[in-house]
Amino acid sequence: MENFSRRNFLKTGTAATALAAAGIGCGGPQRKSNIIFIMADDLGYGDLGCYGQKVLQTPRLDQFAAEGMQFSQAYAGSTVCAPARSTLMTGQHTGHTRVRGNRGATGTRPSLQPEDVTVAELLQQAGYATGAIGKWALGKDNNTGMPNKKGFDYFFGYLDQGRAHEYYPDYIFENDQKYPLDGKTYTHTLFTERSKQFIRDHQQEPFFLYIPYTIPHTNNELGREVGNGQQVPSDEPYSDRDWPQVEKNFAAMVTLMDKDIGEIMDLLKELGIDEDTLVIFTSDNGPHHEGGHDHTYFDSNGPLRGYKRDLYEGGVREPTMARWPGKIAPGQQSDQVWAFWDFLPTATELAGVDAPANIDGISMLPCFLGKPQKDHEYLYWEFKEGKFKQAVRFGDWKAVWLAFGTTPEIYDLSKDIGEESNIAAQHPDIVGQAEKYRLAARTYSPDYPWPNEE
């Protein structure tokens, strides 16, 4: 069987061909399109109204979906934050990317290295102004994984995901310097303000803005102390609801994020660059059950099984939509299967530059533009916290290994989106195919070795 990391960089066509087919860049030099990637933290598949949520108010994201393309089968790169971000930045799934978990084998947090090429580096080389505002989680102070060393002209936010638990910190980072705060300033609000300022500052040139919000991640430490880790300035518009306070706060966080994303969309229209800007929204992994919050209270995983730290669908299938007026037709519902590692080749194709040969992603630009789309042979995830878990999706089949060396559970997602019926015993051929993909998908990592490699 052909190795996926070699197979999938065969493109559906050159960047120039795809852009010309979309009417982008034709008729002489034109401005390259801006790219904004907005990512929530621990938002579940069922947390938005456009994905079936009945209680939480998300009118601006629902409008976002109505104005663009809404995906029913889009996946995060992992089931926790750091590896999900690593797959997004490098275009490699967790069988290949540098950071494959929140902690490595020694208990430390691995960082991106100079040889790890990021989407920001490629877009920066293509003439884009690049900014990252929010939670980074791929490098520490003064090491090789700092955002400014990985292609970002400007960074404002948390370097370490542990510090990102605190929404009222005493400092965050601006580029490579500590940015002092008074412990009373809500960082999410700062991130929105800085994101809008970045757009204003670079409205006359092509830009890539990555906004990895921390909402609605909980403050785990505060949750252990007081039973409510959902930090938010106000529980409006849910103050009068007969809910536990932690659930009021969670709901208010989601609605606050929704409002702020709406402000960013409004700014693009105000500046007259709405049609020049591709905006993608998603979440880094499934909903959490932490800090006193119960992910079932608002049915955050919707019809899916599992949540954060699971490799069932609820841990990795995410609410995802793309909006690009004049290019992406409004009101579209897409069942295209894709994942975080597809963002890098999508962005580079849009920018008119080549993606590296060692990636696992496929450009989704044809899908966005209503053109024929190349599909993945399979998707792969692994997660090494506790038992070594792995998962593969190929076609409608999903294989989940709950521990190393075990027989996978097998599900037919076309009939069983909730992964309720393990049909491995009835399909030994599918088990065999899943095992082949599992073995082919992975390269050795000293930070994340298989149990038999330790």
pLDDT on residue 10: 29
Query: Is residue 367 within 8 Å of residue 334, measured between CB atoms?
Result: yes
pLDDT on residue 24: 59
Residue 11 has pLDDT above 50, yes or no: no
Residue 302's pLDDT band, with cuts at 50, 70 and 90, is: very high
Q: Which residues face 180 on adjacent strands?
A: 171
Three-state secondary-structure class, residue 15 = helix
Kindly state the average pLDDT of the residues 231-253.
98
| pLDDT tens digits for range 73-114 | 999 999 999 999 999 999 999 999 999 999 988 888 889 999
Distance CA 47, CA 252 (A): 12
Helix axes 245-270, 59-66, angle to 10 degrees: 50
Distance CA 276, CA 71 (A): 21
Q: Which residues face 321 on adjacent strands?
A: 70, 281
Distance CA 56, CA 59 (A): 9
The Cβ of residue 424 has, within 10 Å, a number of other Cβ atoms equal to 16
Residue carrying structure tokens 């076609």: 395
Three-state secondary-structure class, residue 31 = coil
Residue 180's pLDDT band, with cuts at 50, 70 and 90, is: very high
> Which residues are CB-neighbours of 316 under 8 A, at least 6 positions away?
75, 76, 78, 79, 285, 286, 310, 381, 391
Residue 129 has pLDDT above 80, yes or no: yes
Distance CA 166, CA 29 (A): 46
SS3 percent helix, strand, coil of the chain, rounded to 5, is 30, 15, 55
Residue 12 has pLDDT above 70, yes or no: no
Task: Calculate the average pLDDT of the chain.
Answer: 93
pLDDT on residue 6: 24
Residue 424 has pLDDT above 90, yes or no: yes
Q: In what order do the strands lie in the sheet with 69-71?
A: 177-180, 171-174, 154-158, 129-135, 207-212, 34-40, 277-283, 320-323, 69-71, 332-334
> Which residues are CB-neighbours of 305 under 8 A, at least 6 positions away?
312, 313, 314, 418, 419, 420
Domains in the chain, CATH or no CATH each: 4-377 (3.40.720.10), 381-448 (3.30.1120.10)
| pLDDT tens digits for range 363-384 | 999 999 999 999 999 999 999 9
| pLDDT tens digits for range 15-26 | 444 454 444 544
Three-state secondary-structure class, residue 400 = strand
Task: Enter the tokens of residue 97.
Answer: 């990317």
Residue 31's pLDDT band, with cuts at 50, 70 and 90, is: confident
Phi, psi at residue 83, to the nearest 5°?
A: -65, -30
Query: Is residue 272 within 8 Å of residue 250, measured between CB atoms?
Result: no
Phi, psi at residue 321, to the nearest 5°?
A: -150, 155
Kindly state the average pLDDT of the residues 189-203.
98
Residue 454 has pLDDT above 80, yes or no: no
pLDDT on residue 229: 97
Nearest C-alpha neighbor of 97 from the set 82, 108, 109: 82
Q: How far are the Cα atoms of 311, 352, 409, 431 from residue 427, in angstroms, in the given order?
A: 20, 44, 10, 6
Task: Enter the tokens of residue 235.
Answer: 């529980």
